[in-house]
Amino acid sequence: MNLFLAGLLFFRAAIPAQQEFLPNPKLTPGCVAASEKDRGGVTLAMEQKVFARYHLPWEWRARYKIDHLIPLELGGADMIDNLWPQKIRARPYGRSVRSKPYGADRKELLTELLLQKIRAGKMTLAQAQEEIRRDWIDAFIDHVGMVYLKPGLIPATD
């Protein structure tokens, strides 16, 4: 087991920082609810399946939030293909003390901003869904501003 954990830590260290904050698109492509049947809630069995898909030990559950790639507020489905384990306390890029992680709270802020733009007629629901599906961090940067920049640069927002 220790060899497995060492390998997992090595693998995680080799992943570029932004990918640590994004779901694997092969495991979580994102999907919208086609009917109310797709809005049945996330069960414990679904959460366990998501952890298994991402090769995460269930014992690490407290470190993650099972997140909808496409948020329910934007029409996302309660389906495995729309769920991923999002780190609750993700480490920031670089070493800046001012850096904050692109965590669940940032994704919720983005969702609220996209909903405001939809209500104002500045974008469609389909556009918002696609931006989040493609890369929610890029969408955050486009609509809100940078939270992290490369070392030596100052974040545009706190």
pLDDT tens for 23-39 read 999 999 999 999 999 99
Of 87 and 121, which is predicted with more confidence?
121
Provide, for the chain, the percentages of residues in helix, strand and coil under a 3-state DSSP scheme, each rounded to the nearest 5. 50, 10, 45
pLDDT at residue 11, rounded to an integer: 43
Please check whether residue 102 is in contact with residue 147, taking contact to mean a CB–CB distance below 8 angstroms: yes
pLDDT tens digits, one per residue of 113-125: 999 999 999 999 9
Amino acid at residue number 104: A
Q: What is the pTM of this model?
A: 0.74
Q: With bands split at pLDDT 50, 70 and 90, how would you rate the model's confidence at 90? A: low
